[in-house]
Structure 1
């Protein structure tokens, strides 16, 4: 018996918060590699030549677009259809985390992700790859909703924001790596191989998710049983092993509970202000990512705009994101300090970007824009820390899911077509980009309100922080 308990303790102790942070960062990196792959030239390819001179040989196109003969509209759908699965499934996974083990849910979602990316490689036409991309979003939803709450809750109290920064730093790094990986594999081998390679890399990570979930449950049982008397141990053992299951809820009860949880989130002024500012902030970033290279080409005659914007954004994000997290930890991760940091960083970053598009030469544009992006990416960890810290541990997955939905539905998804409509009307990329960049000041203005939040919200934030500081950290979160 002692040997069995020793083996269980050894298995459980392996999944320490630091190792799980590395695991989740690798998963996040690979997740965004996939985003870069679907957009890379080697995988996305080029359309077939519809008209050519009779003396010339018509080109059959390349990659996904060439093989399936996709229009530009269909090609654009493939890059964003994952959002359908993500937005539908993320609140479902977040709600399920209240009743089921988070790491097992992540293992389930990553298994779906693995299957979906493999199916992208086996797709036969536009509709089959579209369905596969939607499933990729479903798999991603489990990870997006559950990873950041775990990281925040398991990190040392004075390193919460910096740990989140390492996690979010993997987003631009993964995108950049995906462009390279997709371009190399798609061009030298075949675009299908790029997706199959992703599936092979993710499969062991999905299995580790299940293993972490099992270890987490064993740790919970061992801690429970160690604190009970023999009589209580027998009763608790029945509950732990599921002999007396809880009475199941009806679908209507689940819906009412879910709606009540969402309502509770938005009763928090800290959460509402954080999300509202993030919507405005990400509306600009989303439009930048879509229209930035074209605007750079039009304003500064920047022929390699894709490469310049991509490299500059990746470098600034990888440097700026952890800087923001470490500064937040250093000044004290409180709600007022968080909103002050967000307001200052967004104002300075927005001003630098605004001046960069006012400049008349590429020599002044690049350093100004780089400085702006450094400050802007410094907001990523503090704003997510505020979103998570505004509620209880139980509701943190749902807080992440709802904020993700708001950011996409009201922010970066509609911003690209709106900016396109503005450009159609003005026919002046410099004016259009200046109007777009000014929305950063709206985000800073919204976050500035958070500095003055007093009363119940700030008291609850302090209560949550005190509980986290006083609780001893364990190898895994104590969840059934």
Structure 2
């Protein structure tokens, strides 16, 4: 009985009802993306000092002004978190097989909190870039573990809706970040924006360490630790103290090497299994091309809007559209998939149709001359585009066996960033430097949505 209570096999620990777990994951996710929005907002990101032909100069503002960054360096800051995410995601997903997931989340979020405080205290381009990289480590810890937990604990008929609630925090957080960054940046200083985020996140890493752990489906309670302790007790019963010390040191040494090696071989085996899963690969390829557009929209959106339609409050307007459409679209996608019965085939149908229609509306919106016409069409487009959030992650969770879910989520997240929104921000920057017309750049970018819709349409045939 003692073992059972320790490994978290008891039914729900008293305070952690599935709903509370969902709320905690949502707040963490929200804070993570508020940070992503804040660093892109005109208030925190700022602008370089400019001089008109007549010789009137305005001083630079925000990070870009303070550190005198060109657009490429500025784009690098938006993507630097990826370095941490890339390296740490597969590591956290593999460790989840032998360590308690909540302790892992605690470690990751501690790194996040320290890194964000570091961003607020940075003094040049490299110091802030390194802190942004460490922010990715924090995200890696819970992004691959939160979705499988939600999937395990959600009521059967509402699984996609619960996932939608979690993923809704991405657009909502990013948009809130635009508004928050714009406000704090203009009222106080861009550094304050980071310090406040760090203080808000602080309770969660602590919670990760003190929380009574839950077990994930498809994972045995950590046998490795039991095995280790039993070996050591056997040695200690043989008597002689010197022998005992040497023996223990030897066992620990060889154990840690073989443990690392075992984890590595297990990881490569799991990776092979994932990459041979056609449904998984097609889903992720569609998600990459989708994210290519979303990433560049969220980074360059306010700047493009300001340039094409001369909006004075581009941060607020883009933030507003994204927050409303993001929340409504994501929840609608989850509820709709639950309604038509959540199967992988239905998910692909929904993905391809919503993305195709959304792309048409966004494309036409950028061709409109008037701001009001743009806002109406772009809002409808965004609404349809965000319908995909829950179904795409539902497919990633459901097309693999339970024990592969953390890795499946980790590799999906890493891929959509590495091949999607990370290269898209700098590439769109380069394209814009080349054509120097935000309207044309936006149209070129939006047409990539048709590629995503096409790939997901192929996915439907693979599951038919």
The TM-score bracket by the shorter chain reads 0.7 to 0.9
Match for residue 263 of structure 1? 272
Match for residue 216 of structure 1? 214
C-alpha displacement at 1:43, in angstroms?
Answer: 3.1
Say if 2:176 and 2:323, in contact at 8 Å, map to a contact too.
no
C-alpha displacement at 1:197, in angstroms?
Answer: 1.8
User: What is the TM-score normalised by the length of structure 2?
Assistant: 0.83
Match for residue 135 of structure 2? 136
Q: Kindly tell me: are residues 142 and 350 of structure 1, through their superposed partners in 2, closer, same or farther at Cα, counting changes over 3 Å?
A: same
Say if 1:11 and 1:215, in contact at 8 Å, map to a contact too.
no
Match for residue 466 of structure 1? none
Say if 1:37 and 1:178, in contact at 8 Å, map to a contact too.
yes
Say if 1:238 and 1:244, in contact at 8 Å, map to a contact too.
no
Q: Kindly tell me: are residues 112 and 381 of structure 1, through their superposed partners in 2, closer, same or farther at Cα, counting changes over 3 Å?
A: same
Give the whole-Å Cα distance in 2 for the aligned partners of 1:111 and 1:421. Answer: 36
Match for residue 328 of structure 1? 337
Match for residue 366 of structure 1? 375
My pick for the range that moved more, 260-269 or 293-302, is 293-302
Query: Deviations 1:326-378 (Å, cap 9, x if unpaired)?
Result: 11111111111111111111111112222223334333322221111111101
Give the whole-Å Cα distance in 2 for the aligned partners of 1:425 and 1:77. Answer: 19
My pick for the range that moved more, 426-435 or 163-172, is 426-435
C-alpha displacement at 1:108, in angstroms?
Answer: 0.7
Say if 1:33 and 1:178, in contact at 8 Å, map to a contact too.
yes
Alignment of 1:142-181 (within 5 A): 142-181=141-180
Alignment of 1:335-354 (within 5 A): 335-354=344-363
User: What is the TM-score normalised by the length of structure 1?
Assistant: 0.81
C-alpha displacement at 1:122, in angstroms?
Answer: 2.8
SS in 1 for 2:352: helix
Match for residue 241 of structure 2? none
Q: Kindly tell me: are residues 358 and 63 of structure 1, through their superposed partners in 2, closer, same or farther at Cα, counting changes over 3 Å?
A: closer
SS in 1 for 2:98: coil
Give the whole-Å Cα distance in 2 for the aligned partners of 1:363 and 1:51. Answer: 30
Match for residue 321 of structure 2? 312
Give the whole-Å Cα distance in 2 for the aligned partners of 1:167 and 1:285. Answer: 18
Query: Deviations 1:161-197 (Å, cap 9, x if unpaired)?
Result: 1111111111122122223333333343343332222
C-alpha displacement at 1:46, in angstroms?
Answer: 4.1
- Cα RMSD of the aligned pairs, angstroms, is 3.5
Say if 2:359 and 2:385, in contact at 8 Å, map to a contact too.
yes
Say if 2:179 and 2:319, in contact at 8 Å, map to a contact too.
no
What is the aligned counterpart of 2:413 among 400, 404, 415?
404
Say if 2:72 and 2:429, in contact at 8 Å, map to a contact too.
no
SS in 2 for 1:13: coil
Give the whole-Å Cα distance in 2 for the aligned partners of 1:419 and 1:199. Answer: 31
Give the whole-Å Cα distance in 2 for the aligned partners of 1:308 and 1:238. Answer: 53
Give aligned pairs, total. Answer: 437
SS in 2 for 1:131: helix
Give the whole-Å Cα distance in 1 for the aligned partners of 2:309 and 2:71. Answer: 26
